[in-house]
Structure 1
Amino acid sequence: MEISIVTFHSTRGLSMASEDYSVYSGLTEDELISLAVERSLTDDHVSVDHTGHSKTPIVQSRPTIAGSISAHPHVAPPTDDTPCITLKNACTDPGPGARKCYSFINSDGQQYAAWRRYDGSMLVTLDPEPLDPVVKAIKSGAVSTLIEIAKTGICLTKQNKEGWISLHEAAYRGQTECLKVLLKLDHKMINARTFQDETPLFFAVSFEQVACSQWLLESGADPDISNKENETPLYTACERQNLDIVQLILKFKGKVNKICRQGCTALHEAVWRDNLEICHALLEAGADISIPNKYGITPLFAAAQGGCVKVLRFLIRHGADVNSHAADGATALYESSKNGHEEVVKILLSRNANANICTRGGLLPLHIAAKRGNERIVSILIPVTSKARVRRSGISPLHLAAERNKNEVLETLIEAGFDVNAMLSPDRSKMHEDRRSTALYFAICNNNTEAATMLLEAGANPNLDTFNPLLIAVRQGCIRTVTLLVEHGANVNAYIPTHPTSFPAAIMFCMKYLTLLKYLLDNGCDAQSCFQCEYGSGPHPPIETLHRPRDDIRYNVDVQNYIPVQFCEMISTPSVSRWAGPIIDVLLDYVGNVQLCARLIEHLDSYEDWGVIKEKSILPRPLMQLCRLRILSLLGAERMQLIDSLPIPGRLLKFLRHEERSSQL
């Protein structure tokens, strides 16, 4: 009978609760496998103690590779009194293609194995391989039994499938007396390596076995032998934050500046863990504070990145370069600004950190602080940031604040005098399909009326972008934003340069919003162009071949031979044609003598109730209508603001506002 199967979708994709991610996201594949097996067992089986109360069982397992779950700092290694579960009737055949990962034993001494199947699932079965008597003796600390086993001539340096020998087992278990016996029997095994190049000292340090570590060092163990990741015992002791073992290794002249495969030193590890005592011990032993890892990260950069204030001050006092930068050009100041470490930013600036060093991407610390929305750090950086340097970067912090809806930061930047009409550089603008350029455009795209108001009141020009922000607001159907833009001079007759139409593009986007359409027409949108059809009363192309409006605006460079879309074509699209009558009715209120083309007449003839609209277009138009148009044209673009100041009767005012249908004329 199978005991447990744990299925996962990839080597890093074990199913676990979201709250566990932050704890377990750093585990290796083997650690995740170990955790999955343990969870599966503990979830599916509950043992009962002698009092009758249930308790959560914990699998007591012996990891067989370095970096197993028991070695992880978040998970304590098992002890002999750890409660265990008893599994019975487990099959011993994991199936074809299965690979054994490791073994563990329960409280009754029964040995089980965890297998990885060909399909990625995990299976726990009885282990067909018997428990080594040497391992069993070391586990229980039976020194006399170990001596008797040695007398029988059994080889104590025989490696298991992971390369462990008896000395590794004793170091892992913290069995100092067993260590002494084994070294007395064969001292040459003191620096024996597993297949991952771990020595007994490495195991003792990894599992924080202080007594074993001391005995091994005193017996001549080499403290500088690293594993396959080039991690030394000193590096691992710093990772475990065990000051006693660190001092012990340094006492025995362990090399303090050896680097691991990622280029990190022991000092990097101590800094990342904000351990000032270990940092102090390492520097006294000669640690180099300027060694970068393979990503260019120095210990000071690591301290700034993690917000380690005490360690940062300590490193600066010992001469660390405050302007050191990583391989991507990010400085310690940039990284601390990015992560919101306000006190670190203040410390670095007080030590003359340069706020005008940009990353390879051209961003300054001020840019990233604005992007992350940290208003306090933005305020600190503004006085020390060159606006000329900001301009050369091709992007303003206003763009980033508007893009991320960081309104407080946006307000702070505006008050500091940053140009609200700053344009993205061509290279940065090309990164966006719509070729946006201004901070206002970002705000409108986010439908952030508050940000748009701040920018417009500060003098932002709403007509600088390739695609007018008003078109975005109209497409969103937000009358509040549309009103705001129009009041600040947005061009109501804007066109889409890459998708030409014979009429203003704003009309195309608000055909379903008659109130919005009327507002645009009241403010000067060109209704006349909707009735200037090139086909006139002649035959029109089939509807199937008409240009149809896109649901989004995308940039298309090749538009030289693009035939402008006619209004009658646009209104014939299936999604709009049912609104044709009311749309034409509204437009007729804003034009004089116009001729309806054959397609528009066809639409009006398609519905009996629309006959009155067709009659409305019969020439000539009423004199009152022509007079209204003349008055409005004389008032100009600000006609709606000027109408209320005219010394004319209220009924006439309503007529000029196209509100005559609500009056009793």
Structure 2
Amino acid sequence: MFGNRSRICFWNQTLHEKPACSGKPRVIEMATTAANTHRQTIGCEEYSLYSSLSEDELIKMAIQQSLEEDSGGQPAAQSPQKSLVARAGEVAAPSRASPHNPPYRIYPWQREIDPVVAAIRDGDEKAVSNMMKSGKNLSVPNKDGWIPLHEAAYYGQVGCLSLLQKAYPGTIDQRTLNEETALYLATSRGNLDCLHTLLQAGAEPDISNKARETPLYKACERKNAEAARLLVQYNADTNHRCNRGWTALHEAVSRNDLEIIDILVKGGAKIESANAYGITSLFVAAESGQLEALRYLARCGADINTQASDNASALYEACKNGHVPIVEFLLSQGADANKANKDGLLPLHIAAKKGICEIVSMLIPVTSRTRVKRSGISPLHLAAERNNDDILEELIDAGYEVNAALSDERSCLYEDRRTTPLYFAVFNNNIYATELLLQAGANPNVDLINPLLISIRHGCLKTMKLLLDHGANIDAYISSHPTTFPATIMFSMKYLSVLKYLLDLGCDAGSCFECQYGNGPHPALNYRRERLNDPQVTREPTVVQFCEMVSTPEISRWAGPIIDVLLDYVGNVQLCSRLKEHIDSYEDWAVIKEKAEPPRPLSHLCRIKVRSLVGRSRIKLLDTLPLPDRLIRYLQHDYSQ
């Protein structure tokens, strides 16, 4: 009745941007043509009316258009008011002046703009006065709950507003269906004259809308200092909370509007007022990086160490969001860097995780190593996990323990039960971080799954060499998945070059041929994978033998070459019946079986003996021993010459 009321989100893609071969019915093409034909006539704003229409609406428009055309395809004679352009203009006109739209679609041919709304929109006080004199009741709301007083406040027509308020004084605080008063609408639109007129007439300044937002809150949201000052002068409640517990001061601080903040504080706003999540205005300033607002609140005595409901401090939140000046200011004001959030993390933890060097540098001197240890996680873990190498290096230089282990509670959050920063670095295949940690004294043999095994899985020889050079166990096992042979061999079975590299450095190949069943019958293989979380499976893990591993479907096709490589690093061994059976199943592998038959060549047995006497610790240093080159190549299984 009195204009359009609720917002409608127009489609991003306008009608003329849609592809021509979209497969639409012909009637839609007609509607598209009609809209395009009048594009130059009706202009961009009117054309947007057609651009936002759905296909069903376009169909209706096309039908209407076709009914108005004569048999020759030309539009029938009609009055200008009934033409397509004119009908579009009827809706387009208020759209230019008013962004609020109806909650339902009003088609151009369905309605005329309300004369009351038109008069108010144009500021025609005489027309409004004449309507009232003629007996028209201008206090009846439309279906959206709007009355002409709301229209006047919305359009900023103070003359019409005064007329309507005096004629219907009881409607001054009447609400729309969204519970918006004329005062709220005037504030929202920044119509200060209307705002002042309504307040002088006795409008209640603290009536909120459905979201419990008052006019003062809206003034802060719009950064309208004059409106805020006017409302405070008329005793608006500066501590009213919206449905999130957010006050006008929270809103002003989030927008760093010092003028409004000053108005609110001097008007009685409580600086320690917290929202539903325990967040104060100072916390908002720290979180959003509003330094000027933060300084103002600190001067007013706001608690620098304020914490939210999850125990996160303002300093923690500033570190999390990378606000370097905020962190610097908070620390200068005595903010406690050792307040942990509900997860036990300190500001230094989150700064290391985010990779903000400047903040980490500021926090290291003021962070308690005891509190870090108590948290069950080192900032080194987080820096390594996120590949923040600069942070990792700075923490190492500051003396943080490179062998710090995750607490059991935190380690259990990872399926592989990792514990050390080194594991994170190797897991990420970060060679630089791995080298940093190893050079600083990281122990490569602490984790349940040896980092060497992870480097083998990645196939990264450089990482493997770094780990082995710093003492990684080349015969590493996994206690949770026991095998009779090193897990290093198990992990490298599909990479023969990696397997040979490990064997060259002294990995135990002999254990692969130590089968408890020998030439006797072997039990049937069970390839079914037990579910990890199956409550019915409570048995201890079965120790897996080499012959069982190479017989699995995933490895069986590699079994021959694997055995062939392993035989080069053992003396006289006996193949068990399962290995023989497996080799016999491939005709091309017959030579492998012959290779394993004892006795092995004397030259080969001598090589094995010399290698054992040299020792594993020095086998990788063969090039440096005072031995002939030919002998060194022989001991290294180098057959190139």
Question: Normalised by the shorter chain, which TM-score bucket?
Answer: 0.7 to 0.9
After superposition, residues 269-284 of structure 1 pair within 5 angstroms as: 269-284=251-266
Residue 209 of structure 1 is matched in structure 2 by 191
Task: Output one character per residue of 1:539-575: Cα deviation in whole Å (capped at 9) or x when no partner.
Answer: 33445x247799xx99999775332222122112233
Task: Give the whole-Å Cα distance in 1 for the aligned partners of 2:581 and 2:441.
Answer: 47
Taking the aligned partners of 2:106 and 2:576, their CA distance within structure 1 comes to: 80
RMSD over aligned CA atoms reads 3.1
| Letter paired with 1:519 | Y
1:561 equivalenced with 2:535 (yes/no):
no
Kindly state the Cα deviation for residue 271 of structure 1 after the two structures are TM-superposed: 0.6
Residue 491 of structure 1 is matched in structure 2 by: 473
- Relative to structure 1, the CA distance from residue 369 to residue 557 in structure 2 (aligned partners, 3 Å threshold; closer, same or farther) is farther
Contact 1:42-1:57 within 8 A present in 2 as well: no
Q: State the 1:619 CA deviation.
A: 0.9
| Residue from 558, 561, 564 that aligns with 1:585 | 564
State the partner residue of 1:662: 640
Which residue of 645, 658, 662 maps to 2:624? 645
Q: What secondary structure is seen at the aligned counterpart in 1 of 2:89?
A: coil
Which of 41-50 and 533-542 deviates more? 41-50
Distance in 1 between residues matched to 2:394 and 2:118, nearest whole Å: 69
1:616 lines up with 2:595 in the alignment:
yes
Q: Deviations over 1:519-547 (max 9, x none)?
A: 1112232111111122322333445x247
Picking from 176, 179, 183, the partner of 2:161 is: 179
Q: Which moved more, 1:564-573 or 1:425-434?
A: 564-573
Which whole-Å CA distance do the structure 1 matches of 2:393 and 2:511 have between them?
A: 40
Q: Does 1:520 align with 2:502?
A: yes
Superposed, which structure 2 residues align to 1:140-539 within 5 Å? 140-539=122-521
In structure 2, relative to structure 1, the CA distance for the partners of 1:619 and 1:325 (3 Å cut) is same
Q: Which secondary structure does the structure 2 equivalent of 1:137 belong to?
A: helix
Q: Aligned with 2:172: secondary structure?
A: helix
Task: Quote the residue 2:9 is aligned against.
Answer: 35
How many matched pairs? 587
Which amino acid letter does the alignment assign opposite residue 489 of structure 2? I
How much does 1:498 deviate? 1.9
Q: In structure 1, what is the Cα distance between the partners aligned to 2:338 and 2:211?
A: 37
Instruction: Name the counterpart of 1:71.
Output: none
Which residue does 1:78 correspond to in 2?
A: none
- Which structure has the bigger radius of gyration? 2
**Which amino acid in structure 2 is aligned with residue 224 of structure 1?**
D
In structure 2, what residue type is equivalent to 1:580?
A
Alpha-carbon separation, structure 2, partners of 1:91 and 1:468: 76
Deviation at 1:372, TM superposition (A): 0.4
SS at match of 1:107: helix
SS in 1 for 2:562: helix
Pair 238,638 (structure 1): closer, same or farther in 2 beyond 3 Å: same
- Is contact 1:507-1:517 (8 Å) kept? yes
- For 1:216 and 1:496, the matched residues in 2 are separated by 78
Give the structure with the higher percent helix: 2
Question: Are residues 1:633 and 2:612 paired?
Answer: yes
More displaced, 253-262 or 138-147? 138-147
* 1:538 partner letter: G
Structure 1 contact 540–599 (Cα < 8 Å) conserved: yes
Question: Structure 2 matches for 1:532-551, cutoff 5 A?
Answer: 532-542=514-524, 545-546=526-527
Deviation at residue 499 of structure 1 after TM alignment: 1.9
Q: Any conservation in 2 of the 1:137–1:145 contact (CA below 8 Å)?
A: yes
Matched residue type, 1:485:
L
The answer to whether the 8 A contact 1:307-1:344 is kept is yes
Give 3-state SS (helix, strand or coil) of 1:108's partner: helix
How far 1:180 sits from its partner (Å)? Answer: 1.1
CA contact (8 A) 1:42 1:58 kept: no
Contact 2:90 2:112 in 1 (8 A): no
Q: Deviations over 1:196-215 (max 9, x none)?
A: 22110000111111221111
- Post-superposition CA distance 1:263-307 (Å, at most 9, x none): 111111111011111112212222211111111111111111111
C-alpha distance in 2 between matches for 1:123 and 1:573: 67
**Alpha-carbon distance in 1 for matches of 2:299, 2:428:** 46
Do residues 574 (structure 1) and 548 (structure 2) align?
no
Quick one: structure 1 residues 140 and 49, their matched pair in 2 at CA, closer, same or farther if it must change by over 3 Å? Answer: farther
TM-score scaled by structure 1? 0.82
* Paired residue type of 1:621: R
User: How big is the shift at 1:128?
Assistant: 4.7
TM-score (norm 2): 0.85
1:594 Cα deviation after fit: 0.6
1:623 Cα deviation from its structure 2 partner = 2.6
Change (3 A) 1:260 1:55: closer
Q: Structure 1: where are the runs of 5+ without partners?
A: 1-29, 62-84, 93-104, 117-121
Distance 2:45 2:456 in 1: 60
CA separation in 2, counterparts of 1:304 and 1:390? 23
Q: Which amino acid aligns with 2:440?
A: A
Q: Which moved more, 1:461-470 or 1:348-357?
A: 461-470
Change in 2 beyond 3 A, CA 1:618/1:38: closer
1:313: how far off? 0.9
Deviation at 1:448, TM superposition (A): 1.1
CA distance in 1, matches of 2:470, 2:183: 74
Deviation string 1:331-366 (CA, Å, 9 cap, x unpaired) is 111111111111111100010000000001100000
Structure 1, 385-394 or 241-250: larger mean CA deviation: 241-250
Flag the 1:195–1:50 CA change in 2: closer, same or farther, 3 A: closer
Cα distance in 1 between the residues matched to 2:303 and 2:404? 34
Structure-1 separation of matches of 2:289 and 2:414: 34
1:583 corresponds to which letter in structure 2? I
Q: SS of 1:644's equivalent?
A: helix
- Once the two structures are TM-superposed, the CA of residue 606 in structure 1 deviates from its matched residue by 3.4
Mapping 1:106-117, distance limit 5 Å: 106-109=88-91
Indicate the SS of the match to 1:662: coil
Distance 1:91 1:233, change over 3 A: farther
Tell me the alpha carbon deviations over residues 8-51 of structure 1, each in whole angstroms, 9 at most, x when there is no partner: xxxxxxxxxxxxxxxxxxxxxx75xx223586579677778998
Residues 125 and 525 from structure 1, CA distance in 2 versus in 1: closer, same or farther, beyond 3 angstroms? farther
CA contact (8 A) 1:263 1:293 kept: yes
Contact 1:546 1:569 in 2 (8 A): no
Which residue identity does 1:532 align to in structure 2? E
CA drift at 1:322: 0.6
The runs of 5 or more residues in structure 2 that have no matched partner are: 1-5, 19-31, 51-57, 66-86
